[in-house]
Amino acid sequence: MKTIFEKSRPGRSTAYLPPPAEGEPPISSLLPEKSLRARPPALPEVSELEIVRHFTELSHRTFSIDGNFYPLGSCTMKYNPRINEKVAHLPGFAKLHPLQPADTVQGMLELMWSLERMLAEVAGMDAVSLQPAAGAQGELTGILCIRARQNELGQAGRTEVLIPDSAHGTNPATSTLAGYRSVSVKSNARGGVDLGDLKAKLSERTAAMMITNPSTLGLFEEEIRAISDLVHGAGGLMYMDGANMNAIQGKARPGDFGIDVMHFNLHKTFSTPHGGGGPGSGPVACKKSLEPFLPVPRIARDGDRFRFDSAAPKSIGKVKSFWGNVGMHVRAYTYLRFHGPEGIRRNAEHAVLNANYLLSRVRKAYKLAYGRVCMHEFVLDGTPFAKKHGVRTLDIAKRLLDYRFHPPTIYFPLIVHEALMIEPTETESKETLDAFADALLQIAEEAKKTPELVTKAPHTMPVKRLNEVKAAKEPNVRWCSPCDPPPPPE
Amino acid sequence: MDYIQNTPADAAEMLRSIGVPSIDALFSSIPEAVRLGRPLDLPPALSEQDLLSHLQSIAARNRTFDAGRCFLGAGAYNHFVPSVVDALFSRGEFLSAYTPYQAEASQGTLQHIFEFQTMVCELTGMDVSNASHYDGATALQEAVALSIDKTERRKVVLSSAVNPQYRAVVKSLFRPLGIQVAEVAHVRGVTPPATLREAGEGAACLVVQNPNVFGCLEDLPAVSEAARSAGALAVASVNPVSLALLRPPGDCGFDLAVGEAQALGIEMGFGGPWAGFIAARKEHLRGMPGRIVGETVDLDGKRGFVLTLQAREQHIRREKASSNICTNQALMALRATIYLETLGPAGLRRVAETCVRRAHGLAERLARVPGIKVSWSAPFFHEFVVEVPHPEPFLARLLERGILGGLPLNPPYRDLREHVLVCCTERNSEADLDAFAGAAAEALKT
């Protein structure tokens, strides 16, 4: 397929504004010549019809929840309800300028305030900030709050953050960004935190532990109380990566099992669209002791009036411009109000039911990394296929594309070699789960009988396997006209 | 209410296959002591029709303004969005896809990001761009982080004419790390390059915004010269619409150009979600944060696109990664991409020129209103500063007349007590400018 630049013809662009009226001053009389660019940016010139066809064709080359089962582990690819989109586009939300006076946005502020209260209840926490733009930014916000709190207590000597070896890469990256040293804690044979190793690594240098519960293995941390007691006992605080809240919403609350601060991923648990990789939204929820450090402004309520309040001297400051990804707040609010307490709990129950059912269907052909009842996702270990048939997890993933399924997350968590991490979510039907299980079982057969079919997959996509080494060695990250001279080597 | 498809019969069959008696049994790994023994205290579920009425009633308690009567800017701009942007943006394939980890099944997403990167490079005059960032403020924060990594210096210098929100975001990350964040005061709306040069000694980067928060144009070549002589990187935060007309940072010797793409077809939406962008000279490519899409070939030699240079990223480098970012803002960057491709160079130029003409037209009209003074004489793009006695009641009176008249600059600029920032876009017609000037004269009389 051509890029839009190859479809461009000089003079073809659509005029959206009338030409300047008679007698309007030339731009050169309003802006100094030296501030003006010499050459216009080489944007494409195409008709509106060509634009529509171009993006329609691009959409056809994009796997999505709307088109395909998408069991990407750790990403909670559930149905994105259309009511959410409709509501977010209401002019009373979409057309608001973020700096309008508070009196003109009372509905918006009340919605955000209510969403904060609902998230606090789901988390079992006291206070929430909606400001972080995504999960990773929520992590940074939470860790900076911990840092500010410990500095206030005169504990600046706490320089380490403990992180289980099964954690998302964002956890150690966040801890570095916030000025901490990451210390990895081993997992035990059941996939939980190894308490012995945890004890060995706790010290007066421990600032916090970042934990994911349920873990990235799809397992509830059975010793969570003991873990948080140990960390608290050493003077550290507990951060929870809320990526997997979909499994426990309405069943258990982080605030009740010893977590001090956590983030939600609204694009996972509360169905806001993933959009091809963002926007996310990563609200942070915390206990009373950390509330003074949350980003400003907070939303304050005086009787039935709402306003932004920046008077928080201990706050870590702002982490994002304005008030966060508000359009995502509107969608998540809508989702929570549609479900109510009963619906939210049922989501967790059926997410876990679907995952365990799918696991029961594929278990005879695939090795389960940790042999326990799973929560909302499970991790398979493809090592036997690699050893016996030379078929790697990557090959299985690519072969799934020929069956029109998006592959699971692969090669993560890092502690499982050849990992396939599968999260079906609650919104899939038994028929879809059966069809996916049948495909996985079929591929297991293919791996034995016709391994080439699998290792050369995909066979039915618009492109075959792509040369990633070339892409990284000779990076070309923008389109250049063939007439342009080639960029000089680095 | 929910979107669950399992019928009771399905659930029973599934439980049989798993070999447990009940759904509850699947939660046995959660210790009894930490289970929630009660329903969540949330408002009850609403049917879709009641839910829509409920949300419509909330939306109705927010005041929207006639498109032409909004003169508020300061980082959020009221531009016209062509219908085709919403139509294509709403396609479920774009909405409900995720990060293109499996390139063969995500060529659509990868290609539209590649086109976004190309146009960001064209606008900014830079060699390389990433796939987008959370917003303009965090894009600036990342550019500053890159400068600190690159130069191994622990001080950064920002002009006070950089949007205060952006400066706040930079400070909240770097101050706790002991990085010195110095500010250089603007003089009558612009940043003196000589002062920047002086403050830039030992700095990782010098940061300006263009047009700056007051709408004024900075002397970009002089700023980059100041950075070069201080051994610092030159970083510009830019408005992409202005780049249809203005000399891009890449042509003025800058190392990094960042900004906010909201003005490119993204609704103001009370401040987000929008999309930041980060562009750089190619020597900084391997230090860039976030996703980057690159061109390559498949096994048959056919062109295709992949996420590339992933060895920089957190999921590979973990604690050694230069950024913790995972998601970008692909869906919002898609809006900007559709917008730019629809307008083309001539369309974007016309938008930019109309913004400039309207802003200058309004400044001229307001200058004639007794009691109002247009501050400063520096050239400006589509925002400018006026002085009026008692800005708050003045703006409130305009609001009564249906006009969102601008932003008082104090706070955060304590010394700009009577100063109001006013913005025009192509949505403000000549008649709207007359209405503003008329209402302003009235407001000052009463």
Q: Verify whether the Cβ–Cβ distance A17 to B350 is below 8 Å.
A: yes
Residue B268, pLDDT above cutoff 60: yes
Question: What's the Cα-to-Cα distance from A251 to each of A114, A377, B38, B143, rounded to whole Å?
Answer: 21, 16, 9, 42
Q: Does B209 touch chain A (CB under 8 A)?
A: no
How confident is the model over B350-371, as pLDDT tens digits? 999 999 999 999 999 999 999 9
Q: Does B360 touch chain A (CB under 8 A)?
A: yes
In this prediction, residues A149-178 reach a mean pLDDT of 95
Q: How confident is the model at residue A483 (pLDDT cuts 50, 70, 90)?
A: low
Considering only CB atoms, A64 lies closest to which of B5, B92, B293, namely B92
Residue A20: the pLDDT is 76
Average pLDDT score over chain A = 95
Residue A482, pLDDT above cutoff 90: no
Tell me, letter by letter, the H, E, C secondary structure of B401-412: CCCECCEECCCC
Nearest CA-CA partner of B314 in A176, A268, A393, A466? A176
Give me the residues of A, 186-215, that contact B with CB < 8 A.
none
Nearest CA-CA partner of B281 in B147, B139, B116? B147
Residue A21: the pLDDT is 77
Q: Verify whether the Cβ–Cβ distance A99 to B39 is below 8 Å.
A: no
Structure-token pair, residue A194 = 């190894």
Q: Which residue has the tokens 């003169």?
A: B71
Q: Does B17 touch chain A (CB under 8 A)?
A: yes
The Cα B378–Cα B189 span in angstroms is 7
Interface test with A, best of B7, B42, B51, B357 (most A CBs within 10 A): B42
Residue B446: the pLDDT is 67
Residue A383, pLDDT above cutoff 60: yes
Question: What's the Cα-to-Cα distance from A163 to each of A84, A188, A487, B281, rounded to whole Å?
Answer: 35, 14, 42, 35
Considering only CB atoms, A321 lies closest to which of B114, B169, B323, namely B169
Q: Does B123 touch chain A (CB under 8 A)?
A: yes
Q: Verify whether the Cβ–Cβ distance B98 to A72 is below 8 Å.
A: yes
The Cα A211–Cα A195 span in angstroms is 13
Residue B325: the pLDDT is 87
Residue B317: the pLDDT is 84
Q: Verify whether the Cβ–Cβ distance A98 to B177 is below 8 Å.
A: no
Q: Does B246 touch chain A (CB under 8 A)?
A: yes
Residue B443, pLDDT above cutoff 50: yes
DSSP state of A375: S
Residue A242: the pLDDT is 97
Residue B154: the pLDDT is 97
The Cα A128–Cα A113 span in angstroms is 9
Give me the residues of A, 152-181, that contact B with CB < 8 A.
168-170, 172-179, 181
Interface test with B, best of A115, A267, A421, A478 (most B CBs within 10 A): A478
Residue A490: the pLDDT is 42
How confident is the model over A419-459, as pLDDT tens digits? 999 999 999 999 999 999 999 999 999 999 999 999 999 99
- Residues of chain A contacting B291 with CB distance shorter than 8 Å: 277
Q: Does B150 touch chain A (CB under 8 A)?
A: no
Q: How confident is the model at residue A484 (pLDDT cuts 50, 70, 90)?
A: low
Measured between alpha carbons, how far apart are the two ends of chain B, in Å? 55
**Per-residue buried b or exposed e for B108-141, using 16+ beta carbons within 10 Å of the residue's own CB:** bbbbbbbbbbbbbbbbbbbbbbbbbbbbbbbbbb
| Domain map (residue ranges) of chain A | 4-60, 84-338, 344-471
Q: Verify whether the Cβ–Cβ distance A107 to B61 is below 8 Å.
A: yes
Q: Verify whether the Cβ–Cβ distance A97 to B78 is below 8 Å.
A: yes
CATH topology of domain A344-471: Aspartate Aminotransferase, domain 1 (3.90.1150)
The Cα B444–Cα B396 span in angstroms is 11
Give the 3-state secondary structure of residue A45: coil
- Residues of chain B contacting A2 with CB distance shorter than 8 Å: none
- Residues of chain B contacting A27 with CB distance shorter than 8 Å: 245, 353, 356-357
The Cα A14–Cα A10 span in angstroms is 11
Asked if B363 and A26 touch (Cβ cutoff 8 Å), the reply is no
The residues, any chain, with a CB within 8 Å of residue A450's CB and separated by 6 or more, are none
How confident is the model over A109-146, as pLDDT tens digits? 999 999 999 999 999 999 999 999 999 999 999 999 99
Considering only CB atoms, B45 lies closest to which of A20, A30, A340, namely A340
How confident is the model over B185-199, as pLDDT tens digits? 999 999 999 999 999
How confident is the model over A334-367, as pLDDT tens digits? 999 999 999 999 999 999 999 999 999 999 999 9
Give me the residues of A, 417-436, that contact B with CB < 8 A.
426-430
Is the domain defined by A84-338 classed in CATH 3.10.20.90?
A: no
* % of chain B residues with pLDDT over 90: 94
Residue B401, pLDDT above cutoff 70: yes
Residue B303, pLDDT above cutoff 80: yes
The Cα A42–Cα A72 span in angstroms is 38
How confident is the model over B135-174, as pLDDT tens digits? 999 999 999 999 999 999 999 999 999 999 999 999 999 9
CA distance B304 to chain A (A): 7
Q: Verify whether the Cβ–Cβ distance A61 to B78 is below 8 Å.
A: no
Residue B312: the pLDDT is 81
Residue A489, pLDDT above cutoff 90: no
The Cα A123–Cα A104 span in angstroms is 31
Q: Does B392 touch chain A (CB under 8 A)?
A: no
Residue A16: the pLDDT is 72
Residue A23: the pLDDT is 82
Residue B97: the pLDDT is 97
Q: How confident is the model at residue A463 (pLDDT cuts 50, 70, 90)?
A: very high
The residues, any chain, with a CB within 8 Å of residue B300's CB and separated by 6 or more, are A464
Give me the residues of A, 91-130, that contact B with CB < 8 A.
91-101, 104-108, 110-111, 118, 121-122, 124
Residue type, A144: L
- Residues of chain A contacting B265 with CB distance shorter than 8 Å: none
How confident is the model over A248-267, as pLDDT tens digits? 999 999 999 999 999 999 99
The Cα B154–Cα B149 span in angstroms is 9
Average pLDDT score over chain B = 96
A75 burial (CB, 10 Å; 0-12 / 13-18 / 19+) is buried
Asked if A327 and A133 touch (Cβ cutoff 8 Å), the reply is no
- Residues of chain B contacting A257 with CB distance shorter than 8 Å: 34
Q: Report cis status (omega within 30 of 0) of the bond before A214.
A: yes
Asked if A285 and A262 touch (Cβ cutoff 8 Å), the reply is yes
Q: Does B428 touch chain A (CB under 8 A)?
A: no
Q: Verify whether the Cβ–Cβ distance A20 to B94 is below 8 Å.
A: no
CA distance B437 to chain A (A): 19
Q: Verify whether the Cβ–Cβ distance A90 to B56 is below 8 Å.
A: yes
Domains in chain B, CATH or no CATH each? 67-80+345-445 (3.90.1150.10), 83-338 (3.40.640.10)
Considering only CB atoms, B296 lies closest to which of A98, A317, A470, namely A470
